[in-house]
Homo-oligomer: A and B are copies of this chain.
Amino acid sequence: MSDLSGPVLRLLLDGQPRTRAELIDLSGLARSTVTGRIEELVAAGLVVPSGEAASTGGRPPARFRFNPEARLILAADVGATHLSVALTDLTGEILDRSTTALNIAKGPEAVLSAVVRAGHALLKKAQRSADDLAGTGVGLPGPVEHSTGRPNHPPIMPGWDSYDVVARLAGEFAGPVLVDNDVNIMALGEHATAYPEVEHLLFVKVATGIGAGVISGGRLHRGAQGAAGDIGHIQAPGHTELCRCGNTGCLEAVASAAAIAAQLNTSTSQDIVELVRAGNAAATAAVRQAGREIGTVLAACVSLLNPSVIVVGGSLSQAGDSLLAGIREAIYARSLPLATTDLRVVTSRTGRDAALRGAAALVLQHQLTAS
């Protein structure tokens, strides 16, 4: 058992101070077990005394509360062309961060060395040590075998296939290193931050590529090979465009920022967003049509999963209402009324923080909610 897990600490995670007697009552554990565990948690700084409860006669009983800054989380969001690194507390709140331009194609040695340097710099600035970390969470822009943390044939990450990301970082920082793909951690981050009570949520990233993260029953659904959420390669009905995966008519080949940029003779998501914001009719129409194509595929996802929230994130979601309007139009046209009764289709609330919050959530779920 990690010193961060177990039922006593879990009962305190809501921030509510509690007495020893309350913790015994709520956990059903033996008095000696609870008393010993509180002593360990206080010694580790994870739990601190927090005043006294009202006395029922005799010495008033001491209360204890969770101390979220006892340890920190290192969160790294490695994008295709950027690196963001942050320190968070044990609730996932971002305390400090740094972002630099960095090409993923420089390979794992260069990129992970930059993560290490950024992590140590943030720790130094916060006057904390690498031993204060409860763990490190990393998001990568390609398929990752979550159980080992190794990239699995990632298409845009030369040199990364099967690289041991965990081994490279574990020697530098205390605690476990957890790795997942960027869309999964964005889904985790959006869910943990903005929709903690929602059971069924779909996070859709629309950027150079298209992908989704699936929250089912409050938990990330990774699938058998960690390949769940790969909606960019579902066939867009009626299309035959060649996709970089070798198949034809994939949603990503039709409606991604890369596909729209090619139509508009421009090159990046940012260019498209600026054209739309400047009122360019061709760009606006192209984004809206992309929304319809994405919505048609999402309608199938709605029939299969019946989520209550679909969050649209990624760089193209900044193009304003056109994308969302196209998505909604197609979802409502193709779904059964029952499945869309209370469905909300919204843009990301965590925005650029989704990945960092998610990388922290990856560590928190592993460390704090394990039993």
Instruction: Give residues of chain A (219-235) contacting chain B, Cβ–Cβ below 8 Å.
Output: 219, 221-231, 233-235
With beta carbons under 8 angstroms apart, the residue of B28, B230, B305 that contacts A33 is B28
Instruction: Give residues of chain A (305-335) contacting chain B, Cβ–Cβ below 8 Å.
Output: 305-308, 334-335
A224 near B299 with CB under 8 A, answer: no
Give the complex CA separation of A77 and B40 in angstroms. Answer: 53
CB contacts (< 8 Å) of A334 on chain B: these are 235, 247
A206-250 to B contact mask, C-beta < 8 Å, 1/0 = 000000101011010111111111110111011000000101000
Does A348 sit at the interface, judged by CB under 8 A? no
Chain A interfacial residues counted at CB < 8 A? 52
B235 near A296 with CB under 8 A, answer: yes
B224 near A304 with CB under 8 A, answer: no
CB contacts (< 8 Å) of A238 on chain B: these are 237-238
**Given the contacts A225-B342, A308-B224, A342-B225, A336 and B245 also touching, CB distance less than 8 Å:** yes
With beta carbons under 8 angstroms apart, the residue of B31, B230, B245, B341 that contacts A304 is B230
**Given the contacts A216-B221, A230-B304, A152 and B235 also touching, CB distance less than 8 Å:** no
Residue in B closest to A221 when the chains form the complex, CB atoms: B216
Does A29 sit at the interface, judged by CB under 8 A? yes
Residue in B closest to A239 when the chains form the complex, CB atoms: B237
Residue in B closest to A222 when the chains form the complex, CB atoms: B306
With beta carbons under 8 angstroms apart, the residue of B31, B212, B229, B338 that contacts A152 is B338
Does A157 sit at the interface, judged by CB under 8 A? no
Give the complex CA separation of A247 and B28 in angstroms. Answer: 54
With beta carbons under 8 angstroms apart, the residue of B28, B214, B297 that contacts A300 is B297
**Given the contacts A153-B338, A233-B336, A235-B237, A223 and B300 also touching, CB distance less than 8 Å:** no
With beta carbons under 8 angstroms apart, the residue of B30, B200, B301, B307 that contacts A31 is B30
Give the complex CA separation of A195 and B135 in angstroms. Answer: 34
A221 near B230 with CB under 8 A, answer: no
CB contacts (< 8 Å) of A212 on chain B: these are 304
The contact sample of 7 A-B pairs, CB cut-off 8 A, is A223-B307, A224-B306, A225-B341, A228-B304, A230-B339, A235-B299, A235-B334
